[in-house]
A and B are shown apart, each in its own frame.
Chain A
Amino acid sequence: MSSGYFRHSVKLALVLAAFALVGTSLLALTYDATKGIIAASEKRAKLALIAQILPPELYDNDIISDAVSLPPQAELGTSEATLTYRALKDGKPSGAVLEAVAPDGYAGKIKMLIAIRANGEISGVRVVSHKETPGLGDYIDIAKSNWIKIFDGTSLEKYPSNEWKVKKDGGRFDSVAGATITPRAMVKAVHKALIYFSANREKIFSLQAKEQAK
C-alpha cells in the first residue's frame, strides 16, 4: 500500500517535472529567438526618445553605446547609478543627456532625461516616469501638454539663479494654477542638473576616454 503511494507520488513528480522542463525550454527558445530583435528595437526606442530632446545633427557617434555610468549624485537627485549619454560631433563633445530625478514631486520621484548642449544650454527635457496626479500635475508629461518645452534653450547664463523658480515664487517659469508643487520640483531639479553639468563637464567627457580604451 505504502509502495503504491510512493509510486503514485513519484509519477506525479515526474509529470510535473516534465511539464516544467517543456515549459522552461519553450521559454529559453523564445527568449533566444527574440533577444536580438528586442534589443535592437529597444535601442531604436531610446534613440527616438533622445532624438526628441537632442537634434540628431548635433552628434555623429553611436550615442547609445557611448554611455557612462555615473554613481549616485546628490545634485542629480539620483540614489542609484545612472547612465549618461555623450554626444560627439567630429570627435568633439557637443552635448550630453543626463538622467536626473526630482525627489520632491507631489507624489514622489519624477524621473527625467535632460539634454544639455556643450555650451551649457538645455536642448530638451522629457519626463520618463512620474506618479503625479492624473489630470492635474501630469502636464509635465509631453503626452499631456507642451509645458516641458519651456526649458528648451534655457541656461545658467540666461537666467540668474534667483529666476530658476516658477512664476508664482517670483521666477521665470509658468505653472498651472492649483498644481505648482510638481513644476516647482521640476524647475529645481533641472536647475541643479545644469549646475552639476557645468561643474563636471570635463569629468563627464574625460570618462569617455577610459571607456574607449577598454
Chain B
Amino acid sequence: MSTVNYKEIVWNGLWKNNAGIVALLGLCPLLAVSTSVVNGVGLGIATIMVMTCSNAIVSLVRQWVPGEIRIPVYILIIAVLVTVIDLAMNAYVQALYLVLGIFVPLIVVNCNVLGRAEAFASKNPVFPAMVDGFMVGLGLTLILAVLGGMREILGKGTLLSGIDLAFGASAKAWVITVIPDYHGFLLAILPPGAFIGLGLLIAGKNWLDQRQRAKPQPLHVPEASAMTA
C-alpha cells in the first residue's frame, strides 16, 4: 500500500463498494431517516463529517494500537468523536444542530464508520484515510438523497419539504410540489417503503453494472471476469 490510488478510493466509495447499496452497512439509520430528501442529506452530511474525522484519527494512532484490541479502541475513538461533535455543534452552531442534531447520535450505531476504520484507515496514511472517509460518506449521502426523494415523492407528493428548517422560513418557497392535490401514499413513508425503495435501488445498480459488463469488450473479458471472481 505504498502508492495510494485516489481514483480507486473515489470509485469504491461512490459506486463499486457503496456503503448503502453494496456493502449494506449502517442500514438502521439509513432506513429510518430516508423519509425525505432533506432528512436523508442531513444524515449524509453528519456521516461525512464523522467518517472523515474518525478515519483521520484512526490512521494517526494506527501504529500504537495493537491488533488484539483494535476494535475496542476504534469504538472508543468513534464514540468519543461523535459525542464531542454532538456537544460542540449544539454549543457553537445551534442552527445547524437543530437540523442535523438528531442524526449525529445515530451515527454511533452506523457500522460503516467502524468498517472503514478497520478496512482502510488502520492500514493507510492520514490523508488517503480522510479522502476514503469522505468518499464513503458521500456515496451514502447520494443513496440517502435518492431514496429520500423516491419516498418523499411517492409518500407526500413533494420534494425538499422541511428545507425551511435548514435555511429559514423563506426557504419554504423552495419546496417543490411534484404531484399537486396528492393525498399521500403512507406505505412509502413507513418503514416497508424504505426496504422496498432500497431493494429497487440495489436492483437498479446491479442492472447498470450488468449492462456495463455485457458491452462487447472481447479482449478484456477474460481478465475482467477473473478479477471479479
Contacts and interface: CB of A to CB of B under 8 A. Distances in A.
Interface of A: 11-12, 15-16, 19-20, 23-24, 26-27, 30-31, 33-34, 37-38, 41, 133-136
Interface stretch (B9-17, B26-34, B82-90, B129-137): B82-90
A16 B69 contact: yes
A38 B76 contact: no
Q: Is the interface of B mostly helix, strand, loop or mixed?
A: helix
Contacts of A31: 87
Interface string B79-99: 110011001101110100000
Contacts of B61: 19
Contacts of A134: 35, 186, 189-190
**A-B complex: 5 closest residue pairs judged by Cβ atoms:** A34-B91, A37-B91, A23-B80, A135-B184, A34-B87
B181 interface: no
Contacts of B79: 23
A34 B68 contact: no
Interface of B: 35, 61, 64-66, 68-69, 72-73, 76-77, 79-80, 83-84, 87-88, 90-92, 94, 155-156, 184, 186, 189-190
A133 B92 CA distance: 34
A99 to B, nearest CB: 21
A15 B87 contact: no
Given A41-B94, A134-B186, A134-B189, A15 B64 contact: yes
B72 A34 contact: no
A135 B186 contact: yes
A90 to B, nearest CB: 33
Q: Is the interface of A mostly helix, strand, loop or mixed?
A: helix
18 contacts: A12-B66, A12-B68, A15-B73, A16-B73, A19-B61, A19-B65, A19-B76, A19-B77, A23-B79, A27-B84, A31-B87, A34-B87, A34-B90, A38-B87, A41-B94, A133-B186, A135-B155, A135-B184
B80 A27 contact: yes
B87 A30 contact: yes
Contacts of A24: 80
Given A27-B84, A31-B87, A38-B87, A136 B186 contact: yes
Contacts of B84: 26-27, 30
B186 A16 contact: no
Contacts of B65: 15, 19
Contact of B66 (A11, A23, A33, A135): A11
B156 A135 contact: yes
Contacts of B64: 15
Contacts of B87: 30-31, 34, 38
A38 B77 contact: no
Contacts of B76: 19-20, 23
A160 B88 CA distance: 51
Among A20, A30, A33, residue most surrounded by chain B Cβ atoms (within 10 Å): A30
A41 B90 contact: yes
B77 to A, nearest CB: 7
B198 to A, nearest CB: 19
A36 to B, nearest CB: 8
Contacts of A20: 76
Contacts of B80: 23-24, 26-27
Contacts of A34: 87-88, 90-92
B104 to A, nearest CB: 13
Contacts of B73: 15-16, 19
Contacts of B90: 34, 38, 41
A134 B185 CA distance: 10
Given A23-B76, A30-B87, A37 B69 contact: no
A33 B186 CA distance: 44
Given A11-B66, A15-B64, A30 B88 contact: yes
Given A19-B76, A134-B189, A135-B156, A12 B83 contact: no
